[in-house]
Amino acid sequence: MHQQKIEAIKSAIEAANAASQDELEAYRIKFISKKSVVGELFAQMKDIPNEQKREYGQLVNEVKQLAEQKFQELIEKVNSSSKKSKSTDMDLTLPPTGIAAGGIHPLTATRQRIIEIFERIGFNLSEGPEIEDDWHNFTALNFPENHPAREMQDTFFIEKNPDIALRTHTSSVQVRVMENQKPPIRTLSPGRVYRNEAISARAHCIFHQVEGLYVDENVGFADLKNTLYHFAKEMFGKETKVRFRPSFFPFTEPSAEIDISCLLCGGKGCNVCKGAGWVEIGGSGMVDPNVLENCGIDSGKYTGFAFGMGIERIAMLKYQIKDLRLFTENDIRFLKQFRPML
Ligand code: DAH
């Protein structure tokens, strides 16, 4: 009677299987725990007549061992199959999916590249305030008072005070550097400038310039040309040509506008350069002796060159961007294109 029951339990144990942690737990409850069928066999010991207790005990112990041995086997089986399925879930030979990363704004990237090029040839960095006084923005730079040259740059004044304005160019930093340092001076001043202009694809009331200044004994126009040739080739590529067009700025004499050969057509003429083959990137010239004197530098001993370029302009040429407004509109479809390729 007992024997039959025990045999049935043994074959149930042998036939048992488990493919998951839940099924393992079910097995444990059914065959191992105190309330399991095996546990019950132990509980029934008290009803067994004394002379049979020994034999019964042996049988029940065998069942118990069998149940435990099977339990160990099932644990191993479930663990190893879950390990296997984990490793087959992942194909290590697949190319990685990209990590989403932000990009550097094209103006920042352009500014950084300009700085890098000039730092390598010995220029340091300098900055000045965006709210500037008349002296640093105009007068020291040889703009006579009430002279029409001031109207070349439409100015935003602060609180109707004609002496304080948002700087119209980074040339104001030239003055601040020369007032505070003795030659030799080789400095680059990137920064934001303001002009009271209607916003369009080609003009903005807020934009960025970078100013360069080199003052020492015997600095000549050839130094200016060589420096800007070097810059253009580094910034836009070896094939780029530079041309200097005579111009006028109150703070330089002689003055020249800087053109580079059109990057799109290589100089043949296209709609970006409007058929000219050349595009303007800034102004330059030999620092006017009056400016040196205004800043306390002996113009008999020292000469210098200066240049000023628009950072938006350079970025537009480099990345072929046709509308200046894209830089400030934060259109993610535009900015996304400057994300690094990961
Ligand atoms: N400040 C001029 C402008 O904003 C650009 C410029 C021209 C800067 C000639 C210079 C220079 O340093 O020499 O239009």
Whether 97 is covered by a domain: the verdict is no
Are 71 and 208 in the same domain? no
Query: Which pLDDT score, from 0 to 100, does residue 147 have?
Result: 78
The residue among 85, 120, 153 that closes a domain is 85
Query: Which pLDDT score, from 0 to 100, does residue 94 have?
Result: 87
Q: How far is the CA of 224 from the centre of ligand 1 (A)?
A: 13
Q: Which of 138, 153, 177, 249 to mutate to test the pocket of ligand 1 (most atoms within 8 A of CB)?
A: 249
Query: Which pLDDT score, from 0 to 100, does residue 89 have?
Result: 73
Whether 94 is covered by a domain: the verdict is no
Q: Is 137 in the pocket of ligand 1 (CB under 6 A)?
A: no
Tell me if 213 sits within 8 A of 184, measured CB to CB. no
- 149, two tokens: 């040259």
Query: Which pLDDT score, from 0 to 100, does residue 223 have?
Result: 98
115: domain CATH number is 3.30.930.10
Q: For the chain of 342 residues, list the mean pLDDT of each consecutive stretch of 10.
A: 86 92 93 92 90 91 94 91 67 81 92 98 98 96 83 81 91 98 97 94 93 98 97 96 96 97 86 88 98 98 98 93 92 90 61
Are 144 and 239 in the same domain? yes
Are 114 and 79 in the same domain? no
Q: How far is the CA of 181 from the centre of ligand 1 (A)?
A: 21
Domain that holds residue 226: 106-338
Are 54 and 123 in the same domain? no
Query: Which pLDDT score, from 0 to 100, does residue 342 have?
Result: 56
Q: How far is the CA of 94 from the centre of ligand 1 (A)?
A: 54
Are 286 and 184 in the same domain? yes
The residue among 52, 85, 118 that closes a domain is 85
Are 148 and 278 in the same domain? yes
Tell me if 27 sits within 8 A of 18, measured CB to CB. yes
**Looking up tokens 């002689």, which residue turns up?**
254
Query: Which pLDDT score, from 0 to 100, does residue 306 have?
Result: 98
Are 18 and 64 in the same domain? yes
Whether 95 is covered by a domain: the verdict is no
Closest ligand 1 atom, residue 287 Cα = 13
Q: How far is the CA of 4 from the centre of ligand 1 (A)?
A: 107
Whether 17 is covered by a domain: the verdict is yes
Cis peptide before 254 (omega within 30 of 0): yes
The number of folded domains in the chain is 2
Q: Is 280 in the pocket of ligand 1 (CB under 6 A)?
A: no
Specify the residue with its C-alpha closest to ligand 1, atom 2. 308
CA 211 to chain centre: 24
Query: Which pLDDT score, from 0 to 100, does residue 2 have?
Result: 77
Q: Is 172 in the pocket of ligand 1 (CB under 6 A)?
A: no
Specify the residue with its C-alpha closest to ligand 1, atom 7. 283
Q: How far is the CA of 207 from the centre of ligand 1 (A)?
A: 14
Whether 167 is covered by a domain: the verdict is yes
Are 144 and 114 in the same domain? yes
Tell me if 216 sits within 8 A of 334, measured CB to CB. no
Q: Is 169 in the pocket of ligand 1 (CB under 6 A)?
A: yes
Are 205 and 73 in the same domain? no
Q: Is 308 in the pocket of ligand 1 (CB under 6 A)?
A: yes
The residue among 85, 120, 145 that closes a domain is 85
Q: Is 252 in the pocket of ligand 1 (CB under 6 A)?
A: yes
Element (H, E) at 319: helix 311-319
Are 80 and 113 in the same domain? no
Counts for the chain of helices (H) and strands (E), in that order: 11, 10
Whether 9 is covered by a domain: the verdict is yes
**Which amino acid belongs to residue 190?**
P
Specify the residue with its C-alpha closest to ligand 1, atom 13. 284
Element (H, E) at 24: helix 21-31
Q: Which of 251, 290, 291, 314 to mutate to test the pocket of ligand 1 (most atoms within 8 A of CB)?
A: 251
Are 219 and 142 in the same domain? yes
Whether 191 is covered by a domain: the verdict is yes
Query: Which pLDDT score, from 0 to 100, does residue 124 have?
Result: 98
Q: How far is the CA of 323 from the centre of ligand 1 (A)?
A: 23
Are 40 and 187 in the same domain? no
Whether 100 is covered by a domain: the verdict is no
Specify the residue with its C-alpha closest to ligand 1, atom 4. 169
